[in-house]
A and B are shown apart, each in its own frame.
Chain A
Amino acid sequence: MSGQEGCCVTKRLQNELLQLLSSTTQSIGAFPVDDNDLTYWTGYIMGPQGTPYSDLKFKISLNFPENYPFHPPKVKFVSPMWHPNVDKSGNICLDILKEKWSAVYNVETILLSLQSLLGEPNNRSPLNAVAAELWDKDMEGYKKKVLMCYEEIDDY
């Protein structure tokens, strides 16, 4: 990473951290894992109300590349997650984290997008086909499966 590039990433992430710390939103949050490395964060999202995920808390990892914000961070679910757009490894299929990424997106917008994805999955391009099918046909069965997979996190 060139000095100038690294400096830009650090400054941007510092601003994002301050923005998140001063935010009043209780349902999302993130913080750098290591004091001396701002490029690796861990975050959480609360499941939105009125969805199978309501009142559940999920842990997320965010890995920022050296050319952030011009390239998206690598975002994964650390907590086990049963969702049509999340695979067993925690990889997420979300357009804004791939081809629709824009430099104006930030950690807060990513977490909010993931939160809305929990309530509105994109079943046309699922990573977990079984979950997609279950979402469309049997919501009660889906809820049970979500709770079976869920592991409570106590890190935050």
Chain B
Amino acid sequence: MYTPIPANTPAPTAPTSSMTSNSSSASNSNTSGSNTNTRNGRPSGAPSNERVRSGSGISSFLNTFGIRQNNQAVSSSSAAPDQRLFGTTPSNSHMNVVMESANIAALQQEPRLHHPIQMPPSAQFHVHRNYQLPISLSLTAPMSTDQPSQQQSSPQNFEVNNAATIHETLNQRQTNNANNTTTSITSMTPATITRNNTGFMTTGAEGSAVATGNQEMYKNLRHLIYAANQPNGTEILHLDLPTASAEDASNITNVDEVTLKQRKDKHGLFSIRLTPFIDSSSTTNQGLFFEPIIRKAGPGSQLVIGRYTERVRDAISKIPEQYHPVVFKSKVVSRTHGCFKVDSQGNWFIKDVKSSSGTFLNHQRLSPASSLSKDTLLRDGDILQLGMDFRGGTEEIYRCVRMRIELNRSWKLKANSFNKEALHRLQNLQKLTAGVEEEDCSICLCKIKPCQAIFISPCAHSWHFRCVRRLVMLSYPQFVCPNCRSSCDLEASFESSDEEDESDVESEGDQLVDQLSVLMETSKDVESHP
């Protein structure tokens, strides 16, 4: 049954679990040569029969709107999260999730109930759209630990947030005890887990944090999105700036509070918008086409630019689109081609990370092939190109990516009084003609809001242009309104066919001619009398 979440209920989060490195089982597995650790009399590799709430599809969508499913179809085995997402465990380690609950048996016997259709009309939708930041993920395989450490990592408590980050909490033990839920990480080649200065967990041989200056780290460049309140945003970026000109230096220095506030959106995040750059003067192909990309990030964030692959798709599937890496379906873009960085002042930088086909900012290459570039300051309106056309760019997959960069424009998208007034007038027009004030686009069922492209038919019905475009093109220039089925010619001339109107136009024209002749006569008089 669906029950509404009361307004005071906190946002649903993933069940927190105590993650401990089980040293004894790890050593056992190493000595015996098998990797089946037993816990509670069951091999850890075997699929557990516990019922786990599915977090995908409709269930999670309904949860967004505060509708909970109490009884739901459940997968027979609980799949471990993709460890590549975290980059905190060696590639050959195993994550075993064990749920110890008193009522598991009862849950197993409970029959599957079908989805009821109705919801009480009194139900209040309570929207939970807050996604836990920071996010850390790698678009490539994690670095292998060539010399595994012999020392065992000590048990620590962690909290898993949205299968995207792992960070320490101190007050987690009580929660875990209450939930009676344990997660054990057993590793064949354990490595010490340490904390670097960004607040993320990293693993490395001998338990040492990866040196920031080391260029090897760029083999496994991490996509890091921090929240708005991330302290030391600029310091954690470790910017490698070129010998800056006076102009650049002035841009990077601290900005005043008003400018900083303008650069941020309502959540305090900076934004970057990438749109395909179409050069009308260019005779060659226009590069890879892509939908406009908007990404948001807090200070100190690093957004990876790369190629779209299956691995990337899996890694980003549970993350909101605004926090995704910037990826393109083009073979000329390297897997980790480069990265955008944003400092605490909202300054954005671009870095080429040893890409083979190069990164060009305003037609200038940032670094030679397969070498690291400096962090270059971006300006609003800059043109960025990733790679060069291969085989003449005849196939779309071999085209370079050209884009125009817009920075921190979130504040400009807010509707001003003119936008609101225009929409209000449109709604009044509909009220006058159709007798109904429509707020929604009847095609996508979403609200028509200010600053959206709208198509208004002669019968005064309106839709988002994006929604109605297909219907417009279907039988152009004829258009049949999907709402009222009235037909019209979109190419009809603006001259009115009504006789009365025509006579009015003629009389107005006559008046204009008369006025013009009077003016000409007076001008002649002026000329004749010096």
Contacts and interface: CB of A to CB of B under 8 A. Distances in A.
Contact of B445 (A19, A44, A102): A19
Contacts of A30: 117
A120 interface: no
Contacts of B123: 22
Interface stretch (A10-18, A84-92, A123-131, A136-144): A10-18
Contact of A103 (B62, B72, B125, B482): B482
B443 interface: yes
Contact of B114 (A22, A23, A156): A156
Contact of A14 (B61, B116, B470): B61
B65 A103 contact: no
B442 A103 contact: yes
Interface string A27-58: 00111101111100001100000000000000
Contact of B119 (A21, A37, A69): A21
A44 to B, nearest CB: 7
A63 interface: no
A30 to B, nearest CB: 7
B115 A16 contact: no
A18 B127 CA distance: 13
A135 B291 CA distance: 55
22 contacts: A11-B444, A11-B446, A12-B445, A17-B62, A21-B119, A26-B118, A31-B117, A34-B57, A35-B56, A36-B57, A38-B58, A70-B470, A70-B474, A102-B482, A103-B442, A103-B443, A103-B467, A103-B471, A104-B482, A104-B483, A106-B445, A155-B114
A90 B117 CA distance: 22
Nearest to A19: B445
A8 B58 contact: no
Contacts of A23: 118
B58 A32 contact: yes
Nearest to B445: A15
Contacts of A14: 61
B294 interface: no
A109 B234 CA distance: 55
Given A35-B73, A104-B443, 10 more contacts: A14-B61, A15-B445, A16-B445, A17-B58, A36-B58, A38-B58, A102-B485, A103-B471, A106-B445, A156-B116
Contacts of A26: 118
* A contact patch SS: mixed
B13 to A, nearest CB: 20
A36 B73 CA distance: 11
B121 A24 contact: yes
A111 to B, nearest CB: 11
A20 interface: yes
Contacts of A21: 2, 62, 67, 117-119
A123 B444 CA distance: 34
Contacts of A24: 121
Q: Which of A19, A34, A35, A102 has the most CB of B within 10 A?
A: A35
Contact of A35 (B54, B443, B445): B54
B59 A44 contact: no
Contacts of A155: 114
Nearest to B466: A8
Nearest to A33: B115
Contact of B446 (A4, A15, A22): A15
Contacts of A22: 119, 121, 123, 125
B117 A156 contact: yes
A36 B61 CA distance: 10
A10 to B, nearest CB: 9
Contacts of A20: 117
Contacts of B444: 8, 11-12, 15
A67 to B, nearest CB: 8
Contacts of A106: 445
Contact of A4 (B65, B125, B291): B291
Interface in B115-172: 115-119, 121, 123, 125
A44 B73 CA distance: 20
A37 B59 CA distance: 12
Nearest to B61: A14
Contacts of A29: 117-118
Contacts of B57: 34-37
B113 to A, nearest CB: 10
A155 B446 CA distance: 31
A12 B116 CA distance: 21
A36 B117 contact: no
A16 B482 CA distance: 17
A29 B467 CA distance: 26
Interface string A70-106: 1000000000000000000000000000000011101
Contacts of A103: 442-443, 467, 471, 482
A-B pairs, 8 with minimum CB distance: A29-B117, A35-B57, A15-B445, A104-B442, A36-B57, A102-B482, A103-B482, A31-B115
